Amino acid sequence: MLVDKFILPECKVYMCGHSLGPSLKTTSDAVCSTLQDFASYGVSSWNKSGWIDLSYALGAKIAALVGAKFDEVIVCDSTVLNLFKALKVAMSLQNGRNIILTTDDNFPADLYIAQGISEVKYIKSNEIYKNIDETVAVLMLTHVNYRDSSVLDMKTINEYAHKYGVLTVWDLSHSIGIVPVDLEESSTDFAVGCTYKYLSGGPGSPAFIYANRMYHEHMQSPIQGWIGHNQPFSFEKEYTSFGVRKFMSGTPAILSMKALEAALEIFDKEVIVKSYSIAKEYSNILIKSLKSHGIEVYAPQNRGGHVAFMHKHGYAFSRALIDAGFICDYRAPDLIRLCVNPLYISLRNIESCIEQIQFIMERSLYLKPEYNQMQKVT
């Protein structure tokens, strides 16, 4: 049972894996043993413990999960930084075009990065095809929407974009670990993603970046990091790099990398396919029940690993749920998100959660003043 591999908060149902996945039982040992290596061998651990190869080793593991070749993915930096790099590179390959096309319901973090790079054109999610033309440089999309959990069809969109010479950059942050993805089969150009959500890599675990091999030769990273140099310890004056290592920047955060390495042990393609299938069942049950209570709920046909519903006292509602032992999260202005990852959420948990939601509504618990005090992180 994979659930036995996790440490779950006592007396709590952890429905927040779409934000920060729970710890694996092996995480602590992996990090502590790295701290031991650091204490015992100091700088020698870079060779002795293979720290120098971690970005590539973890990249290869992620590649196997998303249908990429082992040398098309590396693990480094944050999703924000990797998206910056991927967008800059994709834009640089599109001489004469300067529009980044994206959906207006895309994750704001992704929009901020795009806004800092070039002209951004916002469209509705259901109007992607009709807005793709030769003026567009890059189509930047999120595979699973952070609000409504809807899943876009990567393969069909990529093929359509390529007809017009448009390059695609996908954010897989809410997909990786729960929704099957095949980057090769879907002819994806570039992708990035987070590892602390469904992959349970730990708080601030490093992100990944994917570049299709066809771009490796001609792409040039905007951030020429020494550790991505062909010979990082030759200290040559000129910068040369190859392949996806062009996206390496500075020294990787080894402790955070090691927590992720431990978490990745439990994942393979089969685990993800199975999780996705059960998550869909759970979502159906949850959505049906919420609707029957008159709650406004997002119910797109293709869904990721969470279910979101709306309530005008959204923040206070989420606090009341958390207080009752159901760890969920809130997204401004009115959304409550519940993760249904079957790796650690059971059908019984879903049923209890529904009962609790009903209870909160019946007694209007969201009106309690203590639930209306906004915390820093929501």
Active site positions, annotated:
107, 171, 196-197, 337
Stretch that binds a copy of itself, among 134-142, 175-183, 203-211, 363-371 (CB under 8 A): 203-211
Cβ 118 to a copy of itself shortest distance, Å: 12
- Number of shown-chain residues binding a copy of itself (CB under 8 A): 86
C-alpha 71/C-alpha 155 separation (Å) is 21
The residue within the footprint of a copy of itself, chosen from 79, 102, 168, 341 (CB under 8 A), is: 79
Q: Is 252 in the site for a copy of itself (CB under 8 A)?
A: yes
Touching a copy of itself, residues 172-201 (CB under 8 A): 194, 196
Token pair 């670990």 is found at 177
The residue within the footprint of a copy of itself, chosen from 322, 352, 358, 368 (CB under 8 A), is: 322
Q: Is 224 in the site for a copy of itself (CB under 8 A)?
A: yes
Token pair 């590892």 is found at 195
Cβ nearer to a copy of itself, comparing 52 with 295: 52
Touching a copy of itself, residues 253-312 (CB under 8 A): 253-257, 259
C-alpha 151/C-alpha 143 separation (Å) is 6
Cβ 198 to a copy of itself shortest distance, Å: 13
Cβ nearer to a copy of itself, comparing 28 with 358: 28
Taking residue 349's Cβ as centre, other Cβ atoms within 10 Å add up to: 19
Cβ 375 to a copy of itself shortest distance, Å: 5
Touching a copy of itself, residues 92-121 (CB under 8 A): 104, 108-109, 111-113, 115-116
Q: Is 144 helix (H, G, I), strand (E, B) or coil?
A: strand
Tokens read off for 86:
């991927």
- DSSP letter at 303 equals B
CB 100 within 8 A of CB 114: yes
Cβ nearer to a copy of itself, comparing 36 with 364: 36
Cβ nearer to a copy of itself, comparing 181 with 259: 259
Stretch that binds a copy of itself, among 6-14, 148-156, 273-281, 299-307 (CB under 8 A): 6-14
The residue within the footprint of a copy of itself, chosen from 73, 181, 264, 327 (CB under 8 A), is: 327
Tokens read off for 333:
């202005």
Cis peptide before 342 (omega within 30 of 0): no
Nearest to 317 by CA among 328, 303, 301, 304: 328
Cβ 254 to a copy of itself shortest distance, Å: 4
Q: Is 373 in the site for a copy of itself (CB under 8 A)?
A: no
The residue within the footprint of a copy of itself, chosen from 149, 188, 205, 275 (CB under 8 A), is: 205
Q: Is 43 in the site for a copy of itself (CB under 8 A)?
A: yes
Taking residue 211's Cβ as centre, other Cβ atoms within 10 Å add up to: 28
Q: Is 342 left (phi over 0), alpha (psi -120 to 50) or beta?
A: alpha
Taking residue 125's Cβ as centre, other Cβ atoms within 10 Å add up to: 17
Q: What is the DSSP string of 290-305?
A: HHHTT-EE---SSB-S
The residue within the footprint of a copy of itself, chosen from 45, 145, 186, 341 (CB under 8 A), is: 45
Q: Is 370 in the site for a copy of itself (CB under 8 A)?
A: no
C-alpha 281/C-alpha 279 separation (Å) is 5
C-alpha 173/C-alpha 151 separation (Å) is 12
Q: Is 171 helix (H, G, I), strand (E, B) or coil?
A: strand
The residue within the footprint of a copy of itself, chosen from 5, 13, 23, 219 (CB under 8 A), is: 23
Q: Is 9 in the site for a copy of itself (CB under 8 A)?
A: yes
- DSSP letter at 319 equals H
C-alpha 136/C-alpha 130 separation (Å) is 12
Cβ 17 to a copy of itself shortest distance, Å: 9
Cβ 65 to a copy of itself shortest distance, Å: 20
Query: Binding pattern to a copy of itself, positions 225-244, x when CB under 8 A?
Result: xxx-x---xxxxxxx-----
Give the torsion through C-alpha atoms of 25, 27, 30, 31, to 10 deg.
-140
